[in-house]
A and B are shown apart, each in its own frame.
Chain A
Amino acid sequence: MEWFDFVLERYNYWIVIILMMTGLYIVFARGNLVKKIVGLNLFQTSVFIYYLTIGKIAGGTAPIYVGGELDHGGGHGEEAPGHDAPGHDAPQGSDASLHETPEGASDHVNDLFGGEAGSDKIANDFASNDLKETLKDFQAQGAAAPTGGEASLHTPPEGVDGKIANDAFQNIKKPESIEFSIGDGHEAGANSLADAVHQASEVIYTNPLPHVLILTAIVVGVATTAVGLALAVRIREAYGTIEEDELEVIDNVAEFGEEARARAEGAAS
């Protein structure tokens, strides 16, 4: 089965080569200028496919941090960067406030899991304010009872189904947490994100570099197409045709007189 593995590892390279060569063949063998441009486009698009094939990693995912790291701790509140973000100095306080005001906290939790970054931020500000008010009273107590805070998350009060909350934790996507972090403090967000990514080393991201290169190349390709077609339009206006053979004959006639046409017709028949 050696040959089978060999084929399996490379089949798409070969198919992409066939695609590229089809495009190149159209450019060389076809005389119609628009068709040539289409061929060039086909050739370039196939090269894009080749580039992206280089960057693919089996079992990988799109190079956007998915926050898979959140799965890691089974839904521990402290590990979610969103919770850390308001300030590293008061995580315990946060837990304490949750502990202290279960009704409000459950609302916040709901908001947080609601998914919209904006509401996240508002909820968070709200939580921070809450937090500041309660912080003074509970600083000592909060520091002493972080486990209590966790407990409040694990066994949320009425209105929040624990299972749902956990699912939400697991499904929560990093992008939201990040916008959220940036809003609150760039430094803190970056740090917590780095920690989170570090923890999530088991998530494989596909190589982002070919994607970047091809994003640039797609635009270059379209620009070339536009200029080529503009030229084709001008050629049509000036010559009345966009067939390469006919253009050649017309130019030869202009340069060498009518014998050139006769010669071209002789060659054609």
Chain B
Amino acid sequence: MSAFEVELTPIVFLDLSLLTMLILVAFAMLRSRHLFAVVMLSGIYSLLSAAFFVSLDAVDVAFTEAAVGAGVSTVLMLAGMLLTARREKPKTPGRAPVALAVVFVTGAALAYATIDMPAFGDPDAPANSYVGQQYVDETPNDIAVPNIVTAVLASYRGFDTMGETMVIFTAGVAVMLLLGLGSARGGREVSDAEPEDGEAK
């Protein structure tokens, strides 16, 4: 396809070690039933992926992932865990095979796609040679912001970013609806004795 060839550089080993750590953390999250540990591991996972993002030259994303993924998300999950339960109860078996089948099929579909994927880091890959390259070429003429990511985020695809702020706003509204004033919190505590009005027989 293209003349590009991947070289075995020390960076490959750095990437490999980061990815290995990511896998280990992910498996630990899967295994652990201690929710506090799971939440902490999820924070570590975000931090490790932020480190990997730096290796992928995505410094802006790494920054955001470290702040939002490892920071805000972890705090949210910690709060959510403290307000709910500390331990996960052992699951009745039966669902695992179904889950395994779904996951296997999905993973196989993706692995099938990798056969035709351009090599990792190929500058001539379609994804890197078309619109992405145009941004790199055009930004100085159009916007004159040194950070191309900022230029694309704020101007070329600024509407996506506005949508993103709208998503945050929506999440705020949703959480206020769920937990805020007048949300009937606690008003429906365990009341199995009397079936709800909507469903009574």
Q: Is the CB of B99 within 8 A of A29?
A: yes
A129: interface (CB < 8 Å)? no
Mask: chain A, 197-215; 1 = CB below 8 Å from B; 0 = not: 1000000111111111111
Neighbouring B residues of A213 by C-beta, 8 Å: 160
User: For B121, what are the chain A residues with a Cβ–Cβ distance below 8 Å?
Assistant: 56-60
B61 vs chain A, min Cβ distance (A): 5
Q: What are the interface flags for B50-69 relative to A under an 8 Å C-beta threshold, 1 for contact and 0 otherwise? A: 00110011111100110011
Q: Are A216 and B163 within 8 A (Cβ)?
A: yes
B181 within 8 A of A: no
Taking a contact as CB atoms under 8 Å apart, the answer to whether A214 and B45 are in contact is no
* B12 nearest CB across to chain A (Å): 7
Q: How far apart are the CA atoms of A173 and B24 in the complex, in Å? A: 38
Asked if B164 contacts A206 (CB within 8 A), the reply is: no
Bitwise interface map of B from 96 to 122 toward A, beta carbon under 8 Å scored 1, else 0: 101110111011001100100101111
| Cβ B76 vs Cβ A232 within 8 A | no
Place the interface of chain B in its size category.
Answer: 35 or more
Contact A56 B29 (CB under 8 A): no
List the A side residues contacting B84 at CB < 8 Å.
33-34, 232-233, 235-236, 242
- Picked from A31, A189, A223, A237, the residue with its CB within 8 Å of the CB of B189 is A237
Question: In the complex, what residues of A have CB within 8 A of residue B185's CB?
Answer: 234, 237
Q: What chain B residues lie within 8 Å of A212 (beta carbons)? A: 149, 152-153, 157, 160
A97 in the interface, Cβ–Cβ < 8 Å?
no
Which residues of chain B are within 8 angstroms of A209 by Cβ–Cβ distance?
127, 131-132, 135, 152
A30/B88 contact (C-beta < 8 A), A35-B35, A42-B26 known: yes
8 A Cβ contacts from B118-165 to A: 119-123, 125, 127-128, 131-133, 135-137, 140-141, 143-149, 152-153, 157, 160-161, 163-164
Residue in A39, A42, A60, A240 with the greatest tally of chain B CB atoms within 10 Å: A42
Contact call B111/A14, Cβ cutoff below 8 A: yes
Bound state CA distance, A48 and B35, in angstroms? 24
Q: How far is the CA of A11 from the CA of B17 in the complex (A)?
A: 12
Q: How far is the CA of A23 from the CA of B152 in the complex (A)?
A: 30
B100 touches A222 (CB 8 A): no
Complex CA gap A171/B120 in Å reads 30
Which of A29, A34, A219, A239 is within 8 Å of B168, CB to CB? A219
Bound complex: CA A212 to CA B131 (Å): 13
The reply to whether A174 and B146 form a contact with Cβ atoms under 8 Å apart is yes
- Assuming A227-B171, A227-B178, A232-B80, is B146 touching A26 (CB within 8 A)? no
Chain A 17-47: CB-based contact to B (< 8 A → 1; otherwise 0):
1111111111011111111011101100110
Interface stretch, picked from A87-95, A132-140, A141-149, A247-255, is: A247-255
Q: Other CB < 8 Å A-B pairs besides A22-B29, A32-B35, 16 of them?
A: A20-B107, A21-B106, A29-B96, A34-B80, A38-B29, A38-B42, A41-B73, A45-B46, A206-B57, A210-B58, A221-B73, A229-B80, A230-B178, A240-B189, A240-B190, A267-B92
A-B residue pairs in contact (CB < 8 Å), sample of 7: A26-B30, A194-B140, A196-B140, A218-B69, A220-B167, A226-B174, A230-B174
Q: Point out residues on B near A: beta carbons under 8 Å.
A: 4-8, 12, 15-16, 19-20, 22-23, 26-27, 29-30, 35, 38-39, 42, 45-46, 49, 52-53, 56-61, 64-65, 68-69, 72-73, 76-77, 79-81, 83-85, 88-89, 91-92, 95-96, 98-100, 102-104, 106-107, 110-111, 114, 117, 119-123, 125, 127-128, 131-133, 135-137, 140-141, 143-149, 152-153, 157, 160-161, 163-164, 167-168, 170-171, 174-175, 178-179, 183, 185-186, 188-190, 192, 195-196, 199
